[in-house]
């Protein structure tokens, strides 16, 4: 939280190596690809598969995975509504720093609340935040459930579980919807790759 001392004593230092120069060196734009959806909707799987494809194309990337972040940056947070807000706030600020480095930042978080996702969107210039909704029904997510989380939530073992005891607010106007319920992983990756190509974020000659 900001304090009066922050306002008075902390000044942003402007580097001579700018984001524009880093992007030029990387030969692609830097953006935040924000994958959102229910648990087991395929967010992390898609983000990592996409990163692999982008890496093979020579792109600079990094995936912020929900579970991985909670091992370090957000290890002090639980899953209450307040902690979920703080979790996304921290990740948003980190992703903002990463796009300043010229990197494509991929984030895979349930991020169930629209206000949190919109708060991250407002951190960066227009066009730098790309909301990717991994669309998958609750029934299919429960059927997949590789970690057994839904079963534990149904039994009351896990509190504040999105889709069961806590709401998920579907994006109203996402930049991209990927139907991870019906598409294969390869098809889902291709869907995002095509979008990135059409938006001239990354240029792939074979997709042109």
Residues taking part in catalysis: 111
Chain centroid to CA 51: 12
- Which string of b and e fits 139-162 if b means at least 16 CB within 10 Å? ebbbebeeeebbeebeeeebeebb
Q: Which two tokens stand for residue 82?
A: 């307040």
Those residues whose C-beta lies under 8 Å from the C-beta of residue 90, and which sit 6 or more positions away, are 69, 73, 74
């Amino acid at each position: 939280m900001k304090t009066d001392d922050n306002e008075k004593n902390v000044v942003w230092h402007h580097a001579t190596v700018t984001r524009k120069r880093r992007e030029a060196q990387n030969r692609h734009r830097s953006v935040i690809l924000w994958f959102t959806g229910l648990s087991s909707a395929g967010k992390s799987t898609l983000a990592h598969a996409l990163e692999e494809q982008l890496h093979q194309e020579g792109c600079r990337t990094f995936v912020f995975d929900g579970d991985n972040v909670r091992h370090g940056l957000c290890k002090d947070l639980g899953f209450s509504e307040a902690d979920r807000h703080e979790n996304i706030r921290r990740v948003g600020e980190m992703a903002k720093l990463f796009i300043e480095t010229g990197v494509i930042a991929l984030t895979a978080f349930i991020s169930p609340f629209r206000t949190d996702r919109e708060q991250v969107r407002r951190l960066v210039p227009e066009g730098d935040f790309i909301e990717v909704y991994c669309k998958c029904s609750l029934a299919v997510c429960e059927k997949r459930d590789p970690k057994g989380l839904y079963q534990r939530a149904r039994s009351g073992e896990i509190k504040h579980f999105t889709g069961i005891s806590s709401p998920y607010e579907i994006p109203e106007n996402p930049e991209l919807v990927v139907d991870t319920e019906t598409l294969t992983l390869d098809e889902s990756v291709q869907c995002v790759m095509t979008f990135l190509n059409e938006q001239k974020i990354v240029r792939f000659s074979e997709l042109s």
